[in-house]
């Protein structure tokens, strides 16, 4: 039998093992016929059955139509760090969009995020970072203003993200919990829309991470709700989950009006609640 | 957990550093018996009495059509503190055709569970101690190493250990959703998985 290579690229504990990538490449070039693995059609059927199960648990009997125009999911095909997989949702017809849901099919808790847009939103693009437990389809489901549901998916290769320890003690991971920063940039629609990056310091413990010293699972502590507004106008409301990466970062765009600051109210599942305001840059910038 | 026990745990860890290998993938030594520390951690490159497989090796063993594949990866449990209305739908993706006995690589293992594990393997191999068996879980997982060790100790002569586990398999092949082995699932599980 062959000598075992040190490690395949695997992100359960380590963001990257540089020496592993070359090995993995050399291993994946030769791809012999499957000995007794399920055929592709079986696998596709299994993945579809999985999606149907999740879809029903979230949306009930409502029809969810496939779409190639209302929403697109961008993610690295192979993620470097399964605990920090960047996802971009692009919605080219923002005027039609009321909200969008992100589902990571093979995560044990698949419903990663649900975003509802308010009147001050520009729902053209949302970016966030998630944990991926297994090679999986990632679904985005758009809710249109007329009540329709439309889905698209992308297959992502990453593994072990839900249980990856943070590489520090729980106490250290919770330092400064609830601190926030926001950066502004010119949005996709020029002067009309402003792009914002919200960073929240929070471990977002998945409840599947084991403390390597005590061998106890750190209880789930995750951001459950984030409400972003400018003045009285809501930009978006995000319902989060344990599949959101630690120290959540959310990119979004909004339609600024006047000089009111952008306010963020974040709350977690253990009654943590934090509120911060950020002055909006003047349009001349 | 109290501060005192936390300090004690930290002190134990510090003491352990001298005896145990550093947190590095190289030069991990085989323990005398089972590995009784956390299942997640760097593993040795060898397992005395067993053959260590890479994916090419696994493909060859699987191609014989005689191998019994045993997956001992832990099952995902609904995390404490998760909102009750959140869907919790764990699905265990693994090597198609493998027998999934989660946490069967724990050490120490409840003697009743150990007996059940060995009885189940005896059943799966048809009592043939020379039948090829492959144990696996995830990379950096001592569970499959322990399970292999357990089978070597029980007198199996064709034990194989596939350390890169499910992730090593899915680099090349499709996975399938496995249900827990029914006989193994029927055991009483009061103890938390470690």
Task: Please answer yes or no on whether B171 and A108 come within 8 Å at the CB atom.
Answer: no
- Mean pLDDT in chain B? 86
What sign does the dihedral A143-A161-A87-A250 (CA atoms) show? positive
Q: Is B179 on the interface with A (CB under 8 A)?
A: no
Phi, then psi, of A150 in degrees rounded to 5: -135, 135
For B141, the closest chain A residue by CA position comes to: A12
Q: CA B47, CA B25: separation in Å to the nearest integer?
A: 15
* Residue B19 banded pLDDT, cuts 50, 70, 90: very low
Question: Which domains, and CATH codes, for chain A?
Answer: 40-278 (2.60.40.2470)
- C-beta atoms of A135 and B93 within 8 A: yes
Give the pTM: 0.82
Spell out the domain ranges in chain B: 35-76+89-185
Are B138 and A269 inside 8 Å of each other by CB? no
Of B35-49, B91-105, B179-193, which one has max mean pLDDT? B91-105
Residue B105 has pLDDT above 90, yes or no: yes
Tell me what pLDDT residue A127 has: 98
pLDDT of the residue at A18: 36
What residues pair up with A97 in beta bridges, in sequence order? A144
**Interval A258-280: pLDDT, tens:** 999 999 999 999 999 999 999 99
- A229-240: average pLDDT: 97
Identify the CATH number of the domain defined by range B35-76+89-185.
3.40.250.10
Which A positions 135-154 lie with beta carbon below 8 A of chain B? 135
Q: B189 burial class (0-12, 13-18, 19+ CB within 10 angstroms)?
A: middle
Over residues A54-102, the pLDDT tens digits come to 999 999 999 999 999 999 999 998 888 999 999 999 999 999 999 999 9
pLDDT in tens, A163-172: 888 878 888 9
**Beta pairing class for B51-52 and B159-161:** parallel
End-to-end, the C-alpha distance of chain B in Å comes to 17
pLDDT digits (tens, 9 = 90+) for A6-63: 333 343 333 333 333 333 433 333 333 333 444 456 788 999 999 999 999 999 999 9
Say how many residues make up chain A: 285
Q: From residue A15, how far is each of A18, B1, B28 by CA, in Å? A: 9, 29, 21
Chain A, chain B: beta-carbon pairs less than 8 Å apart: 163
pLDDT at A28: 36
pLDDT at A283: 62
pLDDT of residue B5: 44
* Residue B136: partners with Cβ closer than 8 Å, 6 or more residues away: B69, B70, B71, B72, B73, B95, B98, B144, B161, B162, B163, B164, B165, B166, B168, B169
């Amino acid at each position: 039998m062959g000598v075992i290579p040190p490690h395949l690229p695997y992100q359960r504990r380590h963001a990257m093992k540089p020496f592993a990538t070359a090995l993995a490449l050399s291993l994946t070039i030769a791809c012999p016929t499957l000995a007794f693995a399920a055929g592709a059609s079986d696998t596709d059927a299994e993945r579809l059955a999985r999606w149907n199960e999740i879809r029903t648990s979230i949306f009930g009997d409502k029809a969810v139509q496939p779409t190639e125009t209302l929403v697109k999911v961008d993610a690295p095909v192979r993620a470097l760090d399964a605990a920090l997989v960047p996802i971009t949702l692009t919605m080219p017809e923002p005027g039609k969009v009321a909200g969008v849901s992100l589902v990571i099919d093979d995560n044990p808790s698949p419903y990663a995020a649900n975003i509802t847009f308010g009147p001050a939103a520009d729902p053209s693009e949302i970016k966030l970072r998630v944990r991926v437990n297994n090679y999986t389809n990632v679904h985005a489901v758009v809710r249109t203003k007329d009540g329709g549901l439309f889905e698209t998916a992308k297959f992502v290769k990453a593994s072990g993200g839900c249980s990856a320890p943070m590489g520090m003690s729980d106490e250290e991971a919770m330092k400064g919990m609830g601190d926030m920063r926001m950066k502004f940039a010119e949005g996709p629609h020029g002067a009309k829309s402003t792009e914002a990056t919200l960073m929240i310091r929070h471990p977002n413990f998945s409840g599947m991470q084991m403390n390597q010293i005590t061998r106890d699972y750190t209880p789930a502590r995750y951001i459950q709700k984030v409400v972003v507004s400018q003045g009285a106008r809501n930009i978006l409301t995000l319902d989060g989950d344990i599949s959101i990466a630690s120290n959540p970062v959310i990119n979004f765009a909004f339609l600024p009006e006047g000089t009111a600051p952008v306010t963020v109210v974040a709350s977690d599942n253990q009654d943590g609640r934090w509120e911060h305001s950020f002055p909006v840059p003047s349009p001349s910038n | 957990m109290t501060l005192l026990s936390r300090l004690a745990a930290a002190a134990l860890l510090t003491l352990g550093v001298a005896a145990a290998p550093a947190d590095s993938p190289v030069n991990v030594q085989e323990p005398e018996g089972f590995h009784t520390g956390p299942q997640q951690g760097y593993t040795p490159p060898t397992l005395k009495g067993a053959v260590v497989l890479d994916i090419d090796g696994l493909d060859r063993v699987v191609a014989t059509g005689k191998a019994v594949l045993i997956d001992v990866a832990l099952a995902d449990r609904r995390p404490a503190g998760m909102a009750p209305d959140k869907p919790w739908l764990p699905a265990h993706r693994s090597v198609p055709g493998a027998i999934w006995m989660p946490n069967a690589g724990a050490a120490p293992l409840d003697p009743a569970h150990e007996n059940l594990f060995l009885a189940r393997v005896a059943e799966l191999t048809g009592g043939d101690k020379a039948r090829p068996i492959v144990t696996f879980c995830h990379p950096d997982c001592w569970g499959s190493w322990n399970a292999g060790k357990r089978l070597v100790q029980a007198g199996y002569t064709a034990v194989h250990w596939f350390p890169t586990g499910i992730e090593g398999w899915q680099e090349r092949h499709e996975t399938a959703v496995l249900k827990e082995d029914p006989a193994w699932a029927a055991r009483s599980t009061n103890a938390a998985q470690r």
